[in-house]
Amino acid sequence: MKINNVILRTVAKLVFFIILTLAVYLFFAGHNSPGGGFSGGLVLASALVLLFIVFDIETIQKGLPIDFKLVAALGAFLSVGTGFGALVFGENFLTQAFDYFNVPFFGEIELTTVTIFEGGVALVVVGVVVTILLSISEDE
Amino acid sequence: MSTLVLAIFIPFLAAAIIPFLYKYLKNIHVGWFAILVPTGLFIYLASLIPAISNGEVIVQTINWIPSYGINITAYLDGLSLTLALLISGVGALVILYSIYYLSSKEPIGTFYTYLMLFMGAMLGVVMSDNMLVLYVFWELTSISSFLLIAFWYQRKRSREGAKKSLIITVSGGISMLVGFIMVGSMSSTWSIREVIANVGSISDHSLFIPAMLLVLLGAFTKSAQFPFHIWLPDAMEAPTPVSAYLHSATMVKAGIYLVARFTPVFGGEAVWFWAVTGVGIFTLFWGSFNAVRQTDLKALLAYSTISQLGMIMSMFGMGSAALYLGYSTESVVYTGATFAALFHLVNHSTFKGALFMVVGVVDHSVGTRDIRRLGGLITLMPVTFTIATVGSMSMAGLPPFNGFLSKEMFFVSTLEITEAGFFGLGTWGIAIPIIAWVASIFTFVYSTVFVVKTFLGPYKEEKLEHPAHEPNPGMLISPIILGMLVITFFFMPNVVGENLIAPAMNGIFPTFASEGAELGTHIHAWHGFKPELFMTIGVILFGVFLYLTRKYWSGIYNLFPEKWSINTFYGFVLDQIEDKSTVITNKYMTRYLRDYMVYIFAFFILAIGGIFIFTEAYYFTLPENAPISNFEGLVILAMMVAGITILFAKSRLTAIVLNSILGFGISILFVLFRAPDLALTQTIIEAVTTVLFLVAYYFLPELDREDTTKKTKSVNLFISIGVGVVFTTVALGVQGNKAFDTISTFFENSYELAGGKNMVNAILGDFRAFDTMLEVVVLLIAGIGVYTIIRVRAKKESDQIEDK
């Protein structure tokens, strides 16, 4: 049985980008307000899950040929890697550094290694959630 | 920059890079890249020899977990340098050899990755000053050894050999860890140097002897001492370069290194003396006695390695007697044994490495290692024969090869120790030189067997897989270099003795060195007509006699039937453990999720509820809590209704939806209690979980009525009410407990400390980033786990390589 879900598909295409924007916003907002790598990653994952539900898996994988296991592995590598990065600068393992910079147009912004660490967290969350969902749903 | 610490990590770095080189550079054998690492390390380490031989030590520290005193401290003295040179030097030769030994069709990328992993771990073992770091590297050598033994994992015997070596060496490693922790708690430091410096304050501690025995257990299992030697012959299933490198030249020396390193701590105790000397000398005998009966050349070398390791071990034991006496002109005599041990350690790596490579050459050339099928190769493989002869004669202790020097020094030590009047040596001491001498006769016999059976006698081409021929010259370079060293060390032993071993002695006998004792011995080939010379002559005479008459006395091996061997015992114990644990596991692993829930909840009730009852820490007063607003009450009421309705749901879909109501209810409560971070996360989690449920829903069977008995139902009811009660009490009591001061004020400064105004995320990403990092890794592991369980299972049925 094939359901005609044009409306759902059209809406999903739009909503996907809105959710994506929200994910990016949450990720960066996490430093000073609610959000962060974990929730940002989860939102991103749920956006992808929406696509997988609305369209079928094959279509999405053709459009987004990403191996989500690798995404998760890359994330873990980033998170653990920032820990070792601190060692290179003679600091203790996982010491995070931050400082404020004056950038034209944006004004003063803060750059910190936590962002890389949290980026790793987000990637792991996205990778793992999508991997688990795809594994279960593709099982024959 | 700490170059020494870097030296330990360079092989690990190489291990990470090699797979990529292997994948993208198909035309070049990846071994040529791998060989650069040990060669570079060897040159670097060799450049440190002048400093070390002047008595300097190099210490470099990188902080790892300073709050627990666990730091990566690279410590290089004579002992470490000797072993590090062996590791990198033999490593380079073995890799050169392996380039010709392993064809590019094999998965050599993994091979060199494992080998680099091992090299780094081994360097870490010999250069770590911190006991816990040493332990980490120690276990890493076991793991890389496991991977290398099982390199040809299609073979059943390889897998079993790998498993056996892992089980034995890792159990030893864990007991060693316990020993280390005991030493650490006695001396309240993890640094071996500091332990040695304050050894006087711990030697009367009641844990001193247990710690010693546990550390020794680690050393004995690693160095294949009787009765733990059984893993080494089975480890010979590894490719020959691995056997030459790990199982003769380096890894099995780790246990000996450990004994040497801890001699200044434990040496001087009678228990230490007898454990190390006794086990060593018996292993020496048992290994050489069993080597004679082997028909596989590699097995013969394996037993020979066991025997030689026992010899080195016993010499360290005898040398420790000097510490019992303390510094005096008489006691310095006993340190000669330790000197000989270190010298033989180096010598053994040279000749045994060469011999293993020779076996690999023979195996590679004719396709068998069975001495019943070999013979007469001398004319066809003259170079190989020459190397084999040099190595074997050195192993048998004949001049003009380096084994002769250390064997004579060994005899001298065994004779000297009988004259010591302590440790009960007056009565039992005489056994040491006798056993040593008998074992040396057997050593002579198997060395003869090795050469004569392989290279002399009739050539039996019909029994060989391929006709014999000299291999690719590249394969002979490494054994030739080692063979040359065997001869060079005979003529110039003092180059090694003065530059490496003498400084190593100062590290093993620090109390002697501080008194200004001259610990280096000048090595002479010719001692005059002394007892040790007559012992060597006796070894040759009896050895030749036993070799010629061996078919008359080989019946004694049948006195030890197979079913009484240690191997059978090991197999029996392993089978029993498996059987019994299967029975126990099957008792509680019922394959019903509800049973597992019962365990978890019952434990929760007992543990959490029990704490409140026994510690009487529970405190709760109603007036201190804020009143419940109407809205909050409404949400909770809705959740309660949903929760109770789940019990009566007829279909899974209803249950899933009702469950989501619970989840979203909680996130609304989070909002009401001003925890936006939690509310946000909970909402998304709920959404994703619901999708997950729906996806899995497709695979689940219909929900039917439970046919459980009334009794089970009432037990379940009791447990669920219990969990509810305990959880509610915890929630109510959470505010009341003031046993500890609050730590939240620290986190309130998150903007100054971590640059972030969101305290929750500052905790996650900065203050307690270690937790987050590990959670991320756990999440990844869980994801990979789900993936492999579901997806990889299907492939396995077509996998026929399992039980070749």
Q: Which of B23-32, B266-275, B522-531, B658-667 has the lowest mean pLDDT?
A: B522-531
- On whether both B729 and B758 belong to a single domain, the answer is no
**pLDDT recorded at residue B172:** 94
Domain count, chain B: 3
Angle, nearest 10°, between helix axes B108-127 and B253-266?
10
**Is A121 an 8 Å CB contact of chain B?**
yes
Q: Do B758 and A32 touch (CB under 8 A)?
A: yes
The band of B799, judged by pLDDT with boundaries at 50, 70 and 90, is low
Run of H or E including B65: strand B58-65
Residue B604 belongs to domain with CATH number:
1.20.120.1200
Q: What is the dihedral of CA B315, B317, B321, B322, to 10 degrees?
A: 60
Res B283 pLDDT > 60: yes
| Cα-based distances in Å from B286 to A104, B238, B311, B397 | 79, 23, 11, 18
Distance CA B207, CA B187 (A): 11
CB-based contacts of B718-724 (< 8 A; 24+ apart in sequence): B719/B598, B719/B601, B719/B602, B719/B605, B720/B601, B722/B601, B722/B605, B722/B609, B723/B601, B723/B604, B723/B605
- On whether both B204 and B338 belong to a single domain, the answer is yes
Res B546 pLDDT > 60: yes
Res B797 pLDDT > 60: no
User: In the listed set B723, B740, B757, which residue is the last one of a domain according to the structure?
Assistant: B740
Closest CA to B407 of B426, B394, B425: B394
Res B249 pLDDT > 90: no
- On whether both B655 and B804 belong to a single domain, the answer is no
Query: Mean pLDDT over all residues of chain A?
Result: 83
User: Average pLDDT in the B266-292 region?
Assistant: 90
User: In the listed set B696, B715, B740, which residue is the last one of a domain according to the structure?
Assistant: B740
Record the tokens describing residue B625, joined without a space. Answer: 């809590």
Mutate which: A26, A27, A38, vs B, most B CBs within 10 A: A38
- On whether both B721 and B790 belong to a single domain, the answer is no
User: Average pLDDT in the B171-194 region?
Assistant: 92
- On whether both B420 and B432 belong to a single domain, the answer is yes
Q: Do B766 and A83 touch (CB under 8 A)?
A: no
Domain membership flag for residue A1: no
Record the tokens describing residue B535, joined without a space. Answer: 């012992």
Q: Do B758 and A98 touch (CB under 8 A)?
A: no
Closest CA to B338 of B412, B274, B400, B399: B412
**Is A70 an 8 Å CB contact of chain B?**
no
With a pLDDT cut of 90, the percent of chain B lying above it is 35
**pLDDT recorded at residue B305:** 93
- On whether both B213 and B169 belong to a single domain, the answer is yes
Helix/strand/coil for A109: strand
Record the tokens describing residue A132, joined without a space. Answer: 């688990």
Distance CA B777, CA A136 (A): 21
Helix/strand/coil for B48: coil
pLDDT, tens digit (0-9, with 9 covering 90-100), for B107-164:
888 999 999 999 999 999 999 999 999 999 999 999 999 999 999 888 888 999 999 9
- DSSP conformation class of B798: T
Res B554 pLDDT > 90: no
Q: Which residues pair with B60 in a beta bridge?
A: B74
User: Average pLDDT in the B478-503 region?
Assistant: 88
Res B214 pLDDT > 80: yes
Res A76 pLDDT > 80: yes
Range of the domain at A64: 6-138
Nearest CA in chain B to A43: B684
pTM, 2 dp:
0.81
User: For residue B764, which residues of chain A lie inside 8 Å, CB to CB?
Assistant: 36-38
Q: Do B699 and A136 touch (CB under 8 A)?
A: yes
Cβ neighbours for B281, distance < 8 A, ≥ 6 positions apart: B310, B311, B314, B432, B435, B436, B439
Domain membership flag for residue B504: yes
A57: distance to nearest CA of chain B, Å?
13
Helix/strand/coil for A89: coil
User: Average pLDDT in the B553-578 region?
Assistant: 82
Range of the domain at B156: 3-548
- On whether both B774 and B727 belong to a single domain, the answer is no
Query: Mean pLDDT over all residues of chain B?
Result: 86
Run of H or E including A101: strand A98-103
In DSSP notation, B316-385 reads HHHHTHHHHH-S-TTGGGGHHHHHHHHHHHHHHHHHHHHHHHHHHHHHHHHS--BTTT---TTTT-HHHH
Res B628 pLDDT > 50: yes
- On whether both B614 and B543 belong to a single domain, the answer is no
A107: distance to nearest CA of chain B, Å?
17
With a pLDDT cut of 90, the percent of chain A lying above it is 23
ipTM value for the complex: 0.90
Distance CA B241, CA B139 (A): 21
Q: Do B776 and A120 touch (CB under 8 A)?
A: yes
**pLDDT recorded at residue B162:** 92
Domain count, chain A: 1
Closest CA to B270 of B182, B181, B180, B209: B209
Nearest CA in chain A to B61: A90
Question: Would you call B510 exposed, middle or buried from its count of C-beta atoms within 10 A (0-12, 13-18, 19+)?
Answer: middle
- On whether both B735 and B751 belong to a single domain, the answer is no
Res A2 pLDDT > 70: no
**Is A47 an 8 Å CB contact of chain B?**
no
Between B320 and A96, name the one with better pLDDT: B320
Domain membership flag for residue A34: yes
Chain B residues near any Cβ of chain A (below 8 Å): 62-66, 676-677, 680-681, 684-685, 687-688, 691-692, 695-696, 698-699, 754-758, 760-761, 764-766, 769-770, 772-773, 776-777, 779-780, 782-784, 786-787, 790-791
Instruction: Compare CB distances from B680 to A34, A72, A87 and report the shortest one's residue.
Output: A34
Domain membership flag for residue A49: yes
Q: Do A137 and B779 touch (CB under 8 A)?
A: no
**pLDDT recorded at residue A1:** 44
User: In the listed set B724, B740, B756, which residue is the last one of a domain according to the structure?
Assistant: B740
Q: Do A133 and B772 touch (CB under 8 A)?
A: no
**pLDDT recorded at residue B804:** 46
pLDDT, tens digit (0-9, with 9 covering 90-100), for B573-615:
999 999 999 999 999 888 888 889 889 999 999 998 888 778 7
- On whether both B726 and B750 belong to a single domain, the answer is no
**pLDDT recorded at residue B553:** 81
Between B277 and B532, name the one with better pLDDT: B277
Res B314 pLDDT > 90: yes
**Is A86 an 8 Å CB contact of chain B?**
no
Distance CA B65, CA B69 (A): 6
CB B234 within 8 A of CB B161: yes
Helix/strand/coil for B459: coil
Domain membership flag for residue B390: yes
Distance CA B280, CA B303 (A): 14
Domain membership flag for residue A65: yes
B695: distance to nearest CA of chain A, Å?
6
- On whether both B108 and B230 belong to a single domain, the answer is yes
The band of B738, judged by pLDDT with boundaries at 50, 70 and 90, is low
Distance CA B507, CA B520 (A): 12
pLDDT, tens digit (0-9, with 9 covering 90-100), for B439-476:
999 999 999 999 988 888 888 877 788 888 888 888 89
Cβ neighbours for B444, distance < 8 A, ≥ 6 positions apart: B396, B397, B539, B540, B542, B543, B544, B547
Question: Would you call B562 exposed, middle or buried from its count of C-beta atoms within 10 A (0-12, 13-18, 19+)?
Answer: exposed
Q: Do A124 and B779 touch (CB under 8 A)?
A: yes
Domain membership flag for residue B65: yes
pLDDT, tens digit (0-9, with 9 covering 90-100), for B709-718:
888 888 888 9
User: For residue B755, which residues of chain A lie inside 8 Å, CB to CB?
Assistant: 31, 98-99, 110, 112, 114
- On whether both B502 and B648 belong to a single domain, the answer is no
pLDDT, tens digit (0-9, with 9 covering 90-100), for B59-82:
888 877 777 888 888 888 889 999
Q: Do A69 and B783 touch (CB under 8 A)?
A: yes
